[in-house]
Amino acid sequence: MKKNRGRTGRKRRRKHLQSFMNGVDCSHKLEYIKLKKWLKDRGFEDNDIRPAEFWDTGRGLMTTKALQAGELVISLPEKCLLTTGTVLSSCLGEYITKWKPPVSPLIALCTFLIAEKHAGEQSLWKPYLDVLPKTYTCPVCLEEDVVSLLPEPLRKKAQEQRTMVHELYVSSKAFFSSLQPLFAENTETIFNYSALEWAWCTVNTRTVYMKHSQRECFSLEPDVYALAPYLDLLNHSPNVQVKAAFNEQIRSYEIRTDSQCKKYEEVFICYGPHDNQRLLLEYGFVAVDNPHSSVYVSSGWICRLKDTLLRYFSPLDNQKNAKLSILKNHDFLENLTFGWDGPSWRLLTALKLLNLGEDEFNCWKRALLGDVISATNEEQTLNVTEKICLFLIEETQHVLLQIYRLKRDKENLKNHLTLVEALRLEDLKILQKSAEILCNLKMATT
Ligand SMILES: C[S@@+](CC[C@H](N)C(=O)[O-])C[C@H]1O[C@@H](n2cnc3c(N)ncnc32)[C@H](O)[C@@H]1O
């Protein structure tokens, strides 16, 4: 016992804790050994980056040496990239070139992924396909019961995503059938809806941006995708900056970090300054303490202001409909948010306008510009903003309770429910921070 109390004990404990925080190196696993060999055969030079499992972000890449800002993280030769060029030079090429109306670059990539997965051992891309996720957590893959627990406007976008992928499937069916001469099995079995959903999520969550010139055999949608094996194991952090681009001179896709990274830590890239709703919609995950995140006061909610919230305003406010029209006409009913630094300027301005007294109504233009109209107006606005914030906290807690119950009762939905729970917990943190800020503001102004 005593042994552990000294400097050596502290060191050992720190080391133990550190090893838990770091990822578990997976490079010895057969699938990664095969992938590395496949990449080397295509000119990839191995470096100090290893695939690893991290307790918080799942599978990602770890560095075995400290990285300095500006240093190259990874360089992937063109031969390793999967682009529409790859698809056109495969046996699918002549079918794509013949097909009218032309298919999109996205459908071409999805078709290739499905066909290669079906080819199994015969596929030249097998080592890559073997490390791709088997399932995804983008909203298109979520059950309706889980989607209904998402906050607005994400819920609506999730439904739109589902409709869009379904329509893509229906509109591609005839093209898939045209590929029958290439397969012994019925193409309807190979190119079924769940295969397309998997391929669509693969392209949507894993491609890097790489602009290709427009080809006549494709529809007019931009051809900007490249699947980049191994490099696509890099997870997102909102707190890092990287430079990612195709280097035309050496014909390699390169990623350079602009942030330092310690030895044995996870190397991150930044997928963009996305809030958590966008991360869940596009990539199927949420980032903890995401500085870009905010909680939306949905337009549905603002419309409910008429019935619910207007009770906080004067019930005798004859101008309330006129005020709501002004907000609508000036695009002040969307993008009203609470963030880590409190209510957004847009939300405060909209509420300021709704709080104008009868004799202040003619000041609505100044209110929209953010001018102080009166001390009473300022005070009432803060009161109402706080009430909305507290109401949203209650609503979020209520949904979290529903999620806990569902997690207990529906084992099969557990993973998806955990994802929505993570989003709602982040929202709760933002709202609680906003409530604290509002409370301090109120104290400072009274
Ligand atoms: C380009 S891949 C990155 C590698 C991926 N983790 C894998 O195992 O294949 C993008 C996906 O990784 C996951 N991801 C990326 N960043 C993450 C993060 N910070 N936390 C949790 N999951 C993350 C999401 O599922 C996302 O769709």
pLDDT tens, residue by residue, 208-236: 999 999 899 999 999 999 999 999 999 99
Residues with CB under 6 A from ligand 1: 57-60, 133, 205-206, 232-237, 283-285, 287
- Under the banding of pLDDT at 50, 70 and 90, the label for residue 443 is confident
| Positive or negative: CA dihedral 229, 231, 233, 238 | negative
Residue nearest to ligand 1 atom 20, measured at CA: 57
User: By CB neighbour count within 10 A (0-12 exposed, 13-18 middle, 19+ buried), where does 137 fall?
Assistant: buried
CA of 28 to the centre of ligand 1 (A): 21
Per-residue model confidence (pLDDT) at position 185: 97
CA of 263 to the centre of ligand 1 (A): 21
pLDDT greater at residue 288 or residue 313 = 288
Q: Rounded to whole angstroms, how far apart are CA atoms 59 and 26?
A: 9
- Under the banding of pLDDT at 50, 70 and 90, the label for residue 4 is low
What three-state secondary structure class fits 355? coil
CB 360 within 8 A of CB 374: yes
Q: Rounded to whole angstroms, how far apart are CA atoms 201 and 409?
A: 28
Q: Rounded to whole angstroms, how far apart are CA atoms 89 and 19?
A: 46
Is the pLDDT score of 316 beyond 50?
yes
Per-residue model confidence (pLDDT) at position 428: 98
CA of 254 to the centre of ligand 1 (A): 19
Question: What token pair was written down for 61?
Answer: 């890449």
Is residue 11 within a helix (H) or strand (E), and if so which, with residue range? helix 7-21
Q: Rounded to whole angstroms, how far apart are CA atoms 32 and 39?
A: 10
Q: Rounded to whole angstroms, how far apart are CA atoms 170 and 197?
A: 12
CA of 276 to the centre of ligand 1 (A): 13
Domains and CATH numbers, the chain: 82-227 (3.90.1410.10), 294-445 (no CATH)
Atom of ligand 1 nearest to the CA of 137: 25
**Residue carrying the six token digits 């993008």:** 335
- Under the banding of pLDDT at 50, 70 and 90, the label for residue 406 is very high
Mean pLDDT in residue range 335-346: 95
Question: What token pair was written down for 87?
Answer: 């698809």
Per-residue model confidence (pLDDT) at position 21: 63
> Probe ligand 1: pick from 285, 286, 426, max atoms within 8 Å of CB?
285
CA of 352 to the centre of ligand 1 (A): 41
Residue nearest to ligand 1 atom 9, measured at CA: 233
Atom of ligand 1 nearest to the CA of 138: 27
Q: Rounded to whole angstroms, how far apart are CA atoms 348 and 345?
A: 5
pLDDT greater at residue 380 or residue 52 = 52
CA of 235 to the centre of ligand 1 (A): 5
**Residue carrying the six token digits 């207007």:** 310
Is the pLDDT score of 1 beyond 50?
no
Q: Rounded to whole angstroms, how far apart are CA atoms 31 and 27?
A: 9
CA of 101 to the centre of ligand 1 (A): 35
DSSP class of residue 82?
B
pLDDT-above-90 percentage for the chain: 81
> Probe ligand 1: pick from 231, 236, 279, 423, max atoms within 8 Å of CB?
236
- Compute the chain's Rg from CA coordinates: 26
Residue nearest to ligand 1 atom 15, measured at CA: 235
- In angstroms, how far is the first alpha carbon of the chain from the final one? 57
Atom of ligand 1 nearest to the CA of 136: 25
Atom of ligand 1 nearest to the CA of 59: 8
CB 44 within 8 A of CB 77: yes
Per-residue model confidence (pLDDT) at position 6: 75
Q: Rounded to whole angstroms, how far apart are CA atoms 298 and 338?
A: 11
Residue nearest to ligand 1 atom 26, measured at CA: 283
Among left, alpha and beta (phi > 0; psi -120 to 50; other), residue 116 is alpha
Q: What angle do CA 292, 297, 302 make, to 5 degrees?
A: 155
Q: Which residues contact 241 (CB under 8 A, 6 or more apart)?
A: 257, 258, 259, 270
CB 265 within 8 A of CB 62: yes
Q: Rounded to whole angstroms, how far apart are CA atoms 53 and 266?
A: 9
List, for residues 154-172, the tens digit of each pLDDT value. 999 999 999 999 999 999 9
Atom of ligand 1 nearest to the CA of 133: 9
- Under the banding of pLDDT at 50, 70 and 90, the label for residue 16 is low
Is residue 266 within a helix (H) or strand (E), and if so which, with residue range? strand 266-269
Per-residue model confidence (pLDDT) at position 46: 84
Q: Rounded to whole angstroms, how far apart are CA atoms 267 and 59?
A: 11
CA of 405 to the centre of ligand 1 (A): 27
Per-residue model confidence (pLDDT) at position 17: 56
Among left, alpha and beta (phi > 0; psi -120 to 50; other), residue 94 is alpha
| Positive or negative: CA dihedral 67, 267, 226, 111 | positive
Mean pLDDT in residue range 190-214: 96
Per-residue model confidence (pLDDT) at position 303: 61
Residue type at 382 in one-letter notation: L
